[in-house]
Structure 1
């Protein structure tokens, strides 16, 4: 019996060594260029983002392998194709379980522009070369980090932004692959780039932390489309994610699906200006949130608008989305989210408002220090049934008039505001609103942009907004 057991063990070890398929740890492979390799870091073996990711994951369950090559391109005909490197062959031979691909920065060089027509297909070929491995790994696309130069090392920051990012997102949509936005993560981090291209050890740590968060996020396959047989749906790409466009009660409506949904099916409700400054929406899609929209322009949050949203909310519940919504209101969108929240306090997880209109007499009324809008004020008068300016003077249906109803929901609020907002003055909107909210026991935080005007909305790096939402809607 002992002899038989020894024979079985010997043959088992032989087969493991011969095939290489048996591995006790989850093998993570990092494909990339000099940023992946760790160029410029004082202690590359410990400070590269792959090394820092290994430290975050620990050595018990995961093995992280760095196959970065300085100067490498995704283009097969580029000036230094990753395809021709020993590291590429080693990465394939590693038979990984998870592959992070971070290429594209060097493809922005002028010398490689004539071959850019092949970039998407070359990228697709590389993805499929890994997917076809016996281990069938999950492949994750990483958008290149921002380059703060137009010429350093021949790399063009503007070409990277305007061409490379869009192509990678298109591929992510077509191949249904996860894509992580490292570009926005570094949009406000120029101080971490001594040479304008390569992040320092702290920057590498930010990449490692984002990959670690992705690995640790629990998600599941959910397809809301399966429950939408009652409407005609048009599919398109929203920054690499599947967007479903349809009519709801005659109104333009949209639902963007994450690649995989987070537990509880959380979602963020964009009130107005679909697709404008979408970085927070994209970051939440990465983390398994749905993004939804239902057009109620231009009703200025009146009873009809709230009623349409009530019906849309009920529809989203049939699709299985979470009971509580994350509300996002930019500019006049602030009126919509807060008026709906005032009518539905128990259905709100949190509110993110950005230079929001909170007093319709300020905008579009122009009754204070702001210019207002005569055209939009005329629409407002019709929406609320006012015949004269004198009648409108008694109006009390703005969010700033509904503090008691708003705080009843006990949800946190975050406002991002330009202190120099010339269209929706903060002194007539967020500041008095926040003061009243606090006096009523509500929870509100303001992020001030000291030199900020009404545009642009949001923040180049939405991380602080995302962290607020993740914490508030958990």
Structure 2
């Protein structure tokens, strides 16, 4: 045989084998490990193997993923717990699996009386060690901490919700902050949903579906490839702090106090929420959006009541965000008097608004702080309001047209959707003087608005314990809704 032909055939054969090996490698499924206790295992489900959340997640994701259930009944995160996950065979199997994505849902059993005594001393360090053990097997692995679901059980010596909510969740958020791990807030996703817990502790098959869909969303979401957020080198950076497990950066811009909370992974398109007033109050919506890859930002316009100075501050801050390649359409969030600035800014910047979430919003200054209707008003704030708008006589108020309630036709032309949450019994910002009038006239003008009216609720509490309706509204308005 011709040697040249022989070597040519040999080379072609080697290339063929190499291509086949590379193709096979490319087709290897992404490995997902679901670490947890009985809730991950699927305890209490009639068809556990089919209905547990890891198996439902597998069905949602399809053949490009391999999902394994490593849940163990009764196990704790704590090494000194009564049944530590560390000692289970499933833990060893999970490490040997070398997963690409690790979802950890532990902490529920750590709330039991015999275990909770070790929380303060051991929980954070034990959790960090667990995360590191998976990182050692695959340094590129995505680690996602699932906050425990609520418990509706009444036995205070067993799995007890106050311990889950007030101790285990804050400790888990501390771990996420210090290890830069991702999070998913399952707690608020199941708040006020006792019907999904037949035994008050374990989710039903429908509850497991709810978990699986939320985890599925985090897997398939498209993120920025470089994960570049805000460039803080160009501003007067002051400090960093922990915002429920996420990094909050505090800085001054044009001497104005500002804040940006950054997600662990940034959604493609870099969406952001500009929040007005009452930073950190009822943060469940903000946390849910951070979990998904939104930035939450703040530029101080306190006590300006949405006047021209406030609008101009936000104009400059918006430009700063655009210079950092954030989405050109922003989500506006305003509680109470924050309603004045979000709508006054929107009226001046219709093309820059993705949507508006307003909670018990002030839409007419004569209602609050003026107290000219049925509301209690605030004398000091009313004097400040008039000062901010250069009104030095009550007689001049009849000609004043600077409230959002006066700009309804303009706002409706923006075409962006609006979502309000209001307490019907609100005596501070009466609904009939603000949102009801606004809603009616927005609809008459062809605008898009949804309102949740909370019967028997006053000005507080703001938001919803389970923020799902608000979050879904924002996701749909920005094009990120995946379910």
- TM over 0.5: same fold? yes
Note the aligned Cα RMSD (angstroms). Answer: 2.2
Deviation at residue 229 of structure 1 after TM alignment: 3.0
Q: Say which SS state the counterpart of residue 139 (structure 1) adopts.
A: strand
Distance 2:173 2:478 in 1: 27
Q: Which residue of 2 aligns with 1:456?
A: 461
Asked if 1:118 corresponds to 2:125, the answer is no
Distance 1:218 1:229 in 2: 28
CA contact (8 A) 1:96 1:135 kept: no
Q: Say which SS state the counterpart of residue 132 (structure 1) adopts.
A: helix
Q: Which residue of 2 aligns with 1:339?
A: 344
Distance 1:22 1:61 in 2: 10
Give runs of aligned pairs for residues 169-208 of structure 1, distance below 5 A: 169-208=173-212
Between 229-238 and 83-92, the greater mean CA deviation after superposition: 229-238
Distance 1:230 1:426 in 2: 40
Compared with structure 1, are the counterparts of its residues 53 and 224 closer, same or farther at alpha carbon in structure 2 (3 Å cutoff)?
closer
Compared with structure 1, are the counterparts of its residues 154 and 394 closer, same or farther at alpha carbon in structure 2 (3 Å cutoff)?
same
- Deviations along 1:359-411, one digit per CA (max 9) or x if unpaired, are 11101110011111111111111111122222234322110001122122111
Q: Say which SS state the counterpart of residue 103 (structure 2) adopts.
A: strand
Q: Which residue of 1 aligns with 2:155?
A: 151
Distance 1:291 1:35 in 2: 31
Q: Which residue of 1 aligns with 2:405?
A: 400
The equivalent position to 1:97 in structure 2, one of 97, 100, 104, is 100
- Deviations along 1:174-202, one digit per CA (max 9) or x if unpaired, are 11111000000000211111211111100
Deviation at residue 129 of structure 1 after TM alignment: 0.1
- Deviations along 1:137-187, one digit per CA (max 9) or x if unpaired, are 211110000112342781110011001101111111111111000000000
Deviation at residue 275 of structure 1 after TM alignment: 0.3
Q: Which residue of 1 aligns with 2:28?
A: 24
- Deviations along 1:244-264, one digit per CA (max 9) or x if unpaired, are 101122222101111111111
In the alignment of these two chains, the number of paired residues is 464
Distance 2:372 2:138 in 1: 68
Distance 2:26 2:330 in 1: 45
Between 230-239 and 165-174, the greater mean CA deviation after superposition: 230-239
CA contact (8 A) 2:100 2:138 kept: no
Q: Normalising by the residue count of structure 2, what TM-score does the alignment of the two structures yield? A: 0.92
Q: Which residue of 2 aligns with 1:470?
A: 475
| Stretches of structure 1 lacking an aligned partner (at least 5 in a row) | 16-20
CA contact (8 A) 2:33 2:69 kept: yes
Q: Which residue of 2 aligns with 1:354?
A: 359
Distance 2:26 2:133 in 1: 20
Q: Normalising by the residue count of structure 1, what TM-score does the alignment of the two structures yield? A: 0.94
Asked if 1:75 corresponds to 2:97, the answer is no
Asked if 1:365 corresponds to 2:383, the answer is no
The equivalent position to 2:254 in structure 1, one of 249, 254, 267, is 249
Distance 1:471 1:25 in 2: 30
Compared with structure 1, are the counterparts of its residues 174 and 135 closer, same or farther at alpha carbon in structure 2 (3 Å cutoff)?
closer
| Stretches of structure 2 lacking an aligned partner (at least 5 in a row) | 1-5
Compared with structure 1, are the counterparts of its residues 152 and 114 closer, same or farther at alpha carbon in structure 2 (3 Å cutoff)?
closer
Q: Which residue of 2 aligns with 1:62?
A: 65
